[in-house]
Amino acid sequence: MLSKRGGEKLYYSISEVAKITGLEPYVLRYWEKEFDVLKPKKNRGGNRTYTQKDIEIINRIIHLRTQEKLTIAGARKKLMMKKPGEEKATMVSSAKAKTLIGQIKKDIKDLLELFS
């Protein structure tokens, strides 16, 4: 079982992150190579362990790719740019909300599987 802090998990597996974000695990692994800011740690068994911050970064990348229609290179460049405080705060807030929604969807799916 993964550690929890105040009811919130500290670490997530790649399959959990895939469910939360709606991405396939191979996309997450590919993005690790493309985005220097996305570097989940690996446990003793070599499995990736994502943090809440990693999931928020993934949601920012999703936003840049889908909403702003940026290429991988464009999204990488925009992530590295210094943002004005308000724009950055809005982007971070949006990513946190998407992360929470994704976690709720995953929990609902898990509960449905449990009771079916």
Q: Where are the domains of the chain?
A: 4-115
Q: What is the pTM of this model?
A: 0.68
Which of the 8 DSSP states describes residue 35? -
Task: Give the model's confidence band at 4: pLDDT under 50 very low, under 70 low, under 90 confident, else very high.
Answer: low
Which of 23, 21, 50, 25 shows the shortest CA–CA distance to 38? 50
What six digits make up the tokens of 63? 């936003």
Taking only the tens place, the pLDDT of each residue in 57-108 is 999 999 999 999 999 999 998 888 765 565 667 767 777 788 888 888 888 9
CATH topology assigned to domain 4-115: Multidrug-efflux Transporter Regulator; Chain: A; Domain 2 (1.10.1660)
